[in-house]
Amino acid sequence: MSEEEKSYVFKIVVVGDGAVGKTSLIKQYTEGSFVKDYIKTIGAQFSKYIEEIEDARVKLFFWDIAGQSEFSFMRPTFYKGARAVILVFSLIDEQSFNNIKTWHEDIKKFCGNIPIVIFGNKVDLVNENELGDSKINALKDEIGFIKYYKTSAMTGKNVYDAFRCIIKELYDSVKE
Ligand code: G3D
Ligand code: MG
């Protein structure tokens, strides 16, 4: 008789302003093996992906909003049951950085204290040598995110590591 593999299911929400790259990041990470669906009623889409960690099967549901309109109305449904958050801003869109705080207020309100990883996306479009982390570090006390990654959904830079970080964090919190 073979021992049954351990399995876990996690819902991870991907939030951030429009056009920062949320959908592209999920696609880059799950490319090749994802099932995508669109929940019309709440304007969100989710992608299912299975990751193997150690000897466990981790089933992941990534949720991201398809448009920003009427988001306030569906917020409770969108966040319901989320175990972790990927908060994305664009390194070429300062407003999307400034809105991190607003997204964080939402997360606190609907999810309480769950792990957050911040992605500064579109790193392929900036000169990394001129990019300081001081502004992000200044948010650390306020938001208490686990880690910050500079990603590119276009080139794939850091995408695997960044997703893997939040998944590993979740896995470590539940594994027996
Ligand atoms: P959203 O889901 O957060 O709204 P999308 O964002 O994933 O739809 O991406 C918005 C636009 O930014 C897309 O371009 C997409 O190709 C581009 N994009 C996303 N991530 C990156 C990245 O890391 N680097 C670069 N250079 N572009 C990126 P279009 O032209 O389709 O609107
Ligand atoms: Mg999108």
Write down the domain spans for the chain.
6-174
Q: What is the pLDDT along the chain (176 residues), one digit of tens a residue?
A: 445 778 999 999 999 999 999 989 998 998 744 456 666 666 788 888 999 998 899 999 999 987 666 677 788 889 999 999 999 999 999 999 999 999 999 999 999 999 999 999 999 999 988 888 889 999 998 899 999 999 999 999 999 999 999 999 999 998 87
Provide the token pair at 119. Answer: 């992605």
pTM of the model: 0.92
Give Cα 54 distance to the centre of its chain.
Answer: 22
Mutation probe of ligand 1 site: the residue of 24, 27, 103 with most atoms within 8 A of C-beta: 24
Residue carrying the six token digits 């969108």: 78
C-alpha 174 – ligand 1 centre gap (Å): 33
Q: What is the DSSP letter of 4?
A: P
Tell me the CATH number of domain 6-174, given options 3.40.1350.10, 3.40.50.300, 3.40.5.50, 3.40.50.620. Answer: 3.40.50.300
Q: How many angstroms separate the CA atoms of 11 and 85, rounded?
A: 9
